[in-house]
Amino acid sequence: MNPVGAAEIRRLLDVVGTRIIESRDLLTDLDRTIGDGDHGVNMARGFAAVREKLAALPENTDIASLLKTAGMTLVSTVGGASGPLYGTAFIYAAQELAGAGEMSPELLSRAMRAAANGIVKRGRAGVGDKTMLDTVEPVAAFLESSDSGGSSPEERMRDVRRIARAGMESTVPMQARKGRASFLGERSIGHCDPGAMSSHIMIEAALDVLAASSGETRP
């Protein structure tokens, strides 16, 4: 991964928003199965608002301000639990990037760790509870593992892609222990968690933008 500037982060957030909006029905269907069915609509509304807010920011807005604005906008527009959860994730990530002109791999790792910790703090969830954390935490842990094992940045990004997908899929056999889905008990088993799916969609979209900006073709 090459260092990434504010223009790439802006594009990244735009693509993340597009993918979430395109995935509205998928997220709604997943949430209708084990939740209250509002995840797709809430997230699509939130990211539509994020796009509007970001478009109104001056061109020279730095990375931290872009992410913080995205987080604050999600807090005010999503409505369900994912508002404060993703809002906290973006706001905490932004704090790690304060003053940075570029996002190095080191800063990306710190930002993801802060985002995962924010979700843990806000949701009091742990890995295995069948939540968005099951997608986000393994990615954060991988990014901060300093030993790259001799792999190239492109290989590491492909590993992130694989880990995010595996994390999302890991929620299928889990029994929910958080949120409305936990009321279903064993009946929550066998369905992907909608939050784990939206996190996967966001991470995959981000990787696509980062891969494109470093000249790598999308697999």
Partner 1 sequence: MIAFVLVSHSRAVAAGVREMALQMTGGVVPVIACGGMSDGGLGTDACVIADAIRSLAQNEGVLVLCDLGSAILSAEQALDFLEENEKSGVRIADAPFLEGAVLGAIQASAGSSLQEVFETAEGARDLRKLG
Provide the minimum distance between the beta carbon of 178 and partner 1 in the complex, in angstroms, as a whole number.
9
Provide the minimum distance between the beta carbon of 56 and partner 1 in the complex, in angstroms, as a whole number.
17
Q: Which helix (H) or strand (E) holds 5?
A: strand 4-5
Beta bridge partners of 67: none
* Nearest to partner 1 of 38, 208 (CB atom): 38
* Nearest to partner 1 of 123, 167 (CB atom): 123
Catalog residues that contact partner 1 under the rule CB under 8 A: 38, 42, 72, 75-81, 83-85, 87-88, 122-123, 179-180
Provide the minimum distance between the beta carbon of 77 and partner 1 in the complex, in angstroms, as a whole number.
7
- Residue 133 is encoded by which pair of tokens? 């954390």
Instruction: Report d(CA 138, CA 21) in Å as an integer.
Output: 25
- Residue 122 is encoded by which pair of tokens? 């806000």
Beta bridge partners of 8: none
* Nearest to partner 1 of 83, 194 (CB atom): 83
* Nearest to partner 1 of 48, 166 (CB atom): 48
Task: Name the DSSP class of 186.
Answer: G
30, 28, 26, 52: which is closest to 42 by C-alpha? 28
Provide the minimum distance between the beta carbon of 103 and partner 1 in the complex, in angstroms, as a whole number.
24
9, 119, 121: which is closest to 65 by C-alpha? 9
